[in-house]
Amino acid sequence: MTEFELEQEKKEIVRQYRRLLRHAKPFLQEGDAKIIKRAFNLSQEAHKNMRRRSGEPYIFHPLAVAQICVEEIGLGTTSIVSALLHDVVEDTEMEIEDIERHFGKKVAKIIDGLTKISDVFDHGSSQQAENFRKMLLTLSDDVRVILVKLADRLHNMRTLGSMPRHKQLRVSSETIYLYAPLAHRLGLYAIKSELEDLFLKYSEPIKYADIVDKINASKAPRDRFVRNFISPIQKELNKRRFKFTIKGRPKSIYSIWNKMTSQEISFEKVYDLFAIRIILDLPPEMEKPGCWQVYSVVTDYYQPNPDRLRDWVSTPKSNGYESLHTTVMSKTGTWVEVQIRTKRMDEIAEKGYAAHWKYKESEHTTESGLEAWIGRVREILEHDNVSAIEFVDDFKHSLFNEEIFVFTPKGELKKLPGNASALDFAFEIHSEIGARCIGAKVNQKLVPINYKLKTGDQVEILTSNKQKPNEGWLNFVVTSKGRTRIKDELKEQKKSAASDGKEIVLRKLKQAKLELNSENLDKLLNRFNLKSALDFYFLVGKGKIDPKEIKKIKNSVDKPKKQAKQRVSDVASFQKTIKEATGEKRDQLLIGEDMDIIPYSLAPCCHPIPGDDVFGFVSIHEGIKIHRISCPNATELLSKHGHRVMKAKWTSQSEVSFLTGLKIRGTDRVGMMNDVTNIISSELKVNMRSVSIESDNGIFDGSIQLYVHDTNHLEKLTKKLENIEGVEEVIRFDV
């Protein structure tokens, strides 16, 4: 680099540091600025010879993370210092003890929680899951660990463009799987939305760009619509002397894409593309009546949809969110969501946990359920006998997006995640009641334990001392408390059955004049094709292995053991093993860092075809599976098993046919079916596997499974079908 460029970099570092201090100034106490300066100097010295993959000096990253902590989350000096130093322990000789000596116990504790674990991980476990678990272990001490970690993740996502494609996929999938729901759970809606949008930008770049273009193209008419919509409301609120601001807020790109995908509709058919937010400046005692007065004004001018009223002012969400939402019909026939809240509520909605604590002392503020949720997380953390992956799955269940509100027989309100069952409610009351639950009465009607509860239900739990949890319960229990208790109970049941089984095995071996030693145990495991003694004893104890079979090992000749399957320790050795074992070559996919041609199979969950954006996944028993980036299982595979993901890229190939599916909808007419099949079979010479078309009152809904060569072939077919008179939309689906 030239002297001039280095000088410009130094100036930019100073500019960013001053910007940080400027935003922090309102809450700095005496001596805080000196502590921040000391942390900045230490961080700059530690990272002086380091650069990010983008080429910029590394110090830009801790500065940016500290800036997010202050400006976007509303955290104070301790968090700023922790953000500036969060990579110092990992990147230098400095230890946590040195941090504690210079900056105190609180900062040291936070940085300890943020320091990444070593790169060594066992095959089949997930480095990311272990990392996440370690970070959450500090949650009981200081929630700022999570908040600084979210700021760190947000900046990494903002600068993900300089990373290679396969790393973009892994990091963004991990983000949507854990970090975006975590931001939501802590009430950080702005950060949650940005993380979701950035996930889409890297996982579905073409779809992301398409939605952005369409949003930008509709900006002028949208702004005009918002002005006309809010005009009568503004006049009326001014007349009533309210202090307020009104914003027109477009829906996030991710939520638009999510709606298009889940409802299988085009961008043009997403009607609620934006929301109107009315923010009131009111004293605490006037907040609730003030919000309802404004609701009355809005519904005087526009007809509300009674099914879309959401009152989180009377009953706040458990992450502290308070707001009144209604959806109304505009004069042009478009549905518009209107959000009504106060300045305090808006700050909590944007800055979540940090803002919640700022207002906590107010006697008019309803305590949010954040403390209760953190208490539940601690319960999960106490069960340290589960694997990291299992732990992350349980934690994921606690990051629900929607909540329901149900009542005990005495009228006490309980908050549960959406899709919660009567059994979840039982565990919420008490873990012992959950373990003995045999059914429930919901609104005085008898229901089974897997009955899905709805907001407003009144629930009475029925129990029996003879009841015991079984594995089937895990299929419908969604709360962490319930799942943890069920798993603990199942482990105890398994140990008890295994103990009984071991007694039976000892007795049968004694009758055959054999000892229970490692040699005979290996023979038994080999005979029944089992991996562990515990599994063997358990199956004997449960009566699933006939005890008479045990004696037969006396006369059995040891079969040569099957050669143990080689465990994949890394992608390179896996590729080498495959190449040595088979001379097979395919010409459709290049896989791995070296873009080699090696054997693979197409995942049945998403049926990739040439031209699709894909990745390779090293499965334990089935070699390399190729998945589409948009596969329903992709997010989980990429986030939980990132080390087993391989780059994969289609190259030119011979014409091979791949099975895919198309849904066709539109208005029915005579000859419609004939036109559709003509386009497919005659014009484009595509083979169909199955066709199903139903017509109801002039509307037809069709589903066709067919064989295509690649995405270009599929796109050509889709466009031809869309041009048929009466066809409204043609959408690909996974067969």
Neighbouring-strand partners of residue 460: 441
- Rounded distance between C-alpha atoms, residue 66 and residue 77, angstroms: 10
Neighbours of 308 (CB within 10 A): 14
Do residues 490 and 468 make contact, with C-beta atoms less than 8 angstroms apart? no
Establish how many alpha carbons lie within 13 A of residue 386's alpha carbon, considering only the half-sphere containing its beta carbon. 24
For residue 91, indicate whether it is catalytic.
yes
Cα first-last separation, the chain: 54
Out of 90, 264, 500, 522, the active site residue is 90
Coil, strand or helix: which one is 697? Answer: coil
Out of 7, 45, 91, 281, the active site residue is 91
The one-character DSSP state at 596 is: B
Do residues 435 and 468 make contact, with C-beta atoms less than 8 angstroms apart? yes
The one-character DSSP state at 391 is: H
Tokens of residue 591, six digits: 């896989």
Tokens of residue 170, six digits: 């892994």
Q: Which residues contact 661 (CB under 8 A, 6 or more apart)?
A: 703, 704, 705, 706, 732, 733, 734, 735
- Rounded distance between C-alpha atoms, residue 420 and residue 74, angstroms: 33
For residue 346, indicate whether it is catalytic.
no
Q: For residue 242, which amino acid is it? A: F
CA torsion through residues 441, 445, 446, 452, sign: negative
CA torsion through residues 37, 43, 45, 51, sign: negative
- DSSP letters for 331-387: TTS-EEEEEEEEHHHHHHHHHHHHHHHHTTT-TTSPPPTHHHHHHHHHHHHH-TTS-
Tokens of residue 610, six digits: 């040439």
CA torsion through residues 542, 545, 548, 550, sign: negative
Do residues 191 and 232 make contact, with C-beta atoms less than 8 angstroms apart? no
Candidates 476, 601, 490, 583; CA nearest to 542 is 490
Establish how many alpha carbons lie within 13 A of residue 500's alpha carbon, considering only the half-sphere containing its beta carbon. 13
Residue with tokens 């209760």: 372
Coil, strand or helix: which one is 439? Answer: strand
- Rounded distance between C-alpha atoms, residue 436 and residue 714, angstroms: 54
Positions annotated as catalytic residues are 90-91
